[in-house]
Amino acid sequence: MFEWNEKKARFRVDSARHSHFHSEIAGILASKFKDPSKTGICDAGCGLGFLSLALAEHFGHVTAIDISSVALDILRREAALRGTDNLEILREDLLNDPSVQPRIYDAVVFSFFGNISEIMHIAGPRCRKDLFILKKNDHHHRFSVSHPMRPFDSMAAALRDLNELGLPFTKEDMSIEDGQPLRSLEDALEFFRLYAKGDDIELITPDFVMSLLTETGDPEFPYYYQRACEFSLLSVDMSAFPED
């Protein structure tokens, strides 16, 4: 399971603040409702919570839940800076804490978090009807310079498991730019070393990294690593989910 630390968070905060990635996703989800301003949605496993913040611009109430205190501290600061007042932030272990009494939400979104078994364990008692699952559709690690293959096809497994459950769902394939702004060449080297997979650490030299970057002319973020996020949105009708 992905664990946040201050270094990883710093890079992804820079990305989220300079990207339309989360706002585009939030707009797509809001378009699924006649009046999202009257809808409550839960962002389960919200991480840094930039999707939660974007959802709060459309939905009446947003609940952001994660286990990481590092990530949630950042979310609280961002929400305060933006004056977001319809966002509730909760620290919970959604997978392993049986003492948590689940609340019921109109909709629940899982953004690149959990397999279908884990998602249904969490969403089953919490989601009234609309479950949204964002699942990566590419087969390579996005921020690793040699782009090694992922060890398994999570999308194929998700489709298989949903079909076995017999729940109605739709699948929409999407591609949204979600690259990384970088403050210096040294910053870029640290970023790629942090996200290195396998043996590609030896490839991360200044000359090679520079070949991957675009110069922006922005004094704060003079370099940009362009990379689209390829994913699918699975919209699941949970009204047919068995209660037992």
Q: In order of start, what are the domains of the chain with their CATH numbers?
A: 6-181+230-239 (3.40.50.150)
SS3 label, residue 88: strand
**pLDDT tens digits along 200-238:** 677 889 999 999 999 999 999 999 999 999 999 999 999
Q: What is the mean pLDDT of residues 146-171?
A: 81
Query: Cα(203)–Cα(44) distance, rounded to whole angstroms?
Result: 36
Beta partners for 180? 225
Contact 176, 233 (CB under 8 A): no
| Residue 96 CB partners (closer than 8 Å, separation 6+) | none
- What 8-state DSSP symbol labels residue 93? -
pTM summary value:
0.92
**pLDDT tens digits along 21-68:** 999 999 999 999 999 999 999 999 999 999 999 999 999 999 999 999
Contact 59, 38 (CB under 8 A): no
Length of the chain in residues, anyone? Answer: 244
Query: Cα(142)–Cα(150) distance, rounded to whole angstroms?
Result: 10
Beta pairing class for 169-177 and 40-44: unpaired
